[in-house]
Structure 1
């Protein structure tokens, strides 16, 4: 059976909201890799999640949420530390995250916790995001990445609040480029590219990442759509017009949709094939932006058909 192995963090987002003229925080289950796993499952794919969840009440809620979403949790290890919280504030629809919890409950997966046979049997392996900033998770991710078999999919998902200085940015660039070099697909945002490379030109960032060895690169650009690049060339794919209220999880939904397409159809043939997958992914993200954000916003095929008709 074709399945995706998704490695990374699960945490609780506290989303800023207004209530009777005051600010409150709405609890939402999140973490980019968890969002991706849920997104793949909601789109009808087989998603298997490998990561650590706290044994506290919030960890129990996340485990139940994953189960209800149809995500396999065989690769989950429960840990005796409080669940990490991500306090999320907004400027317009765009979120900014500040993280609380030490040690981070999401980054305690060790190489010994991995089922390397399950990794090898996957059609797609995804990792990335803030879990790679911490041990022992990064060593576990490297061990999985070295396994032959699955298509390797990576998203740096840069969070500037976790990068206090130039040295931290340089270290992150070195780290993520070691994954870029052997990736079948790299997905990053234009904002990620600015932090990593100091350049807001998505074509330049994509060309650099291709030069490192990645087979395909997708740079998302919010309402401007995405830039898609392979060795065969590059193309811009426009985003659908939506009434965005919350972009939380939109990039993760792009990743989930791209993985869903890889599970259904394998590696695309040529630039046109990648562009078609990205066009579908942007339609998924557009719908997510019209909903309150996080994992709960990830749509089903029926949701997509109701919003967009035939894709």
Structure 2
């Protein structure tokens, strides 16, 4: 089994909750790429995380958490700015994010911070999410993505609060479609699809992404499950029934589970193989939804077995 290189943001989620009748905000370490890095590691994978952390106590906590989790941080840099905060409010279990901090502590990795030899030696390279919308990170991600060798997986992780107008949506669409064209796997949510392509359905979005050049597309649809598309065909897989308390990080856990399978067994030979991978990933996400969100919700293999029994 090789290793994965994960590029992208680390930040602090402030999760809205209620205690003793008072509205409060609970701190949680997060950021979609960080969640993926932690999720893969907890499932037994080897991850090298490429990201920037601030210079404050919150960043120290993130660094300690990554180290204690076992995520490789040799390519993680520290920058002299406060840690970005994502204030997270909810409608039911579904989160909405508002970001605070300028410049964003998470997007200050530059091309010179990318170890191309490490990327070339990786089995899987993950890129995506909100870091791509800012320089110098955008240039760093392009540099890493251009390195031949690893399987390339991508998640746009659209955040509408960062898209103030139609021009911003078009710019993001053009940016992420660059990556879709050469991706081995694209994972996105049905909400991402609706924003990027003006209300597109999972099927319409997946067909478009495949036409651009991606080898496989997984569109998560919340409690409904996930739509899977390859050149061979498509299928809709149901999600397990859970008592969801917080969906924060659920989509990231799907990606983490898929990356862990790619590390262990490579690209599936057919649609049936992708179905097995995604069924496993939906079980991971179901368990994450039963826990308070953020990176700490990512489960281990033993926890999955305890909840669901043996998973193929």
- Aligned twin of 1:70: 70
CA distance in 1, matches of 2:249, 2:304: 16
The 3-state SS of whatever aligns with 1:292 is coil
CA distance in 2, matches of 1:18, 1:31: 23
- Aligned twin of 2:99: 99
Contact kept? 1:227, 1:235, Cα under 8 Å: yes
CA distance in 1, matches of 2:170, 2:222: 25
- Aligned twin of 1:190: 190
- Aligned twin of 1:248: 248
CA distance in 1, matches of 2:230, 2:199: 19
If the length of structure 1 is used for normalisation, what is the TM-score? 0.99
CA distance in 2, matches of 1:286, 1:113: 35
CA distance in 2, matches of 1:125, 1:217: 16
CA distance in 2, matches of 1:210, 1:265: 22
CA distance in 1, matches of 2:114, 2:310: 39
The 3-state SS of whatever aligns with 1:74 is coil
CA distance in 2, matches of 1:4, 1:163: 30
- Aligned twin of 1:275: 275
- Aligned twin of 1:304: 304
The 3-state SS of whatever aligns with 1:274 is helix
1:18 aligned onto 2:25:
no
- Aligned twin of 1:109: 109
1:160 aligned onto 2:160:
yes
CA distance in 1, matches of 2:272, 2:201: 22
How far residue 32 of structure 1 moved from its aligned partner, in angstroms, is 0.2
What is the correspondence of 1:6-45 to structure 2 with a 5 Å cutoff? 6-45=6-45
CA distance in 2, matches of 1:111, 1:290: 38
CA distance in 2, matches of 1:51, 1:292: 24
Summarize deviations over 1:16-62 as a string: whole Å, max 9, x none.
Answer: 01011110000000000000000000000001100100121111100
1:3 aligned onto 2:3:
yes
Q: Unaligned stretches of 5+ in structure 1?
A: none
Q: Give the paired residue count.
A: 311
Summarize deviations over 1:153-184 as a string: whole Å, max 9, x none.
Answer: 00000000000000000000000000000000
- Aligned twin of 2:52: 52
What is the correspondence of 1:121-270 to structure 2 with a 5 Å cutoff? 121-270=121-270
The 3-state SS of whatever aligns with 1:72 is coil
CA distance in 2, matches of 1:194, 1:228: 17
- Aligned twin of 1:86: 86
Contact kept? 1:93, 1:245, Cα under 8 Å: yes
> After TM superposition, what 4+ stretches of structure 1 lie above 3 angstroms from structure 2?
none
Contact kept? 1:199, 1:205, Cα under 8 Å: no
1:118 aligned onto 2:147:
no
CA distance in 1, matches of 2:136, 2:190: 29
CA distance in 2, matches of 1:37, 1:74: 14
CA distance in 1, matches of 2:226, 2:199: 16
If the length of structure 2 is used for normalisation, what is the TM-score? 0.99
The 3-state SS of whatever aligns with 2:75 is strand
The 3-state SS of whatever aligns with 1:102 is coil
Contact kept? 1:191, 1:200, Cα under 8 Å: no
CA distance in 1, matches of 2:207, 2:50: 31
How far residue 201 of structure 1 moved from its aligned partner, in angstroms, is 1.6
How far residue 199 of structure 1 moved from its aligned partner, in angstroms, is 2.6
CA distance in 1, matches of 2:302, 2:287: 12
- Aligned twin of 1:288: 288
Q: CA RMSD in A?
A: 0.6
Contact kept? 1:9, 1:52, Cα under 8 Å: yes
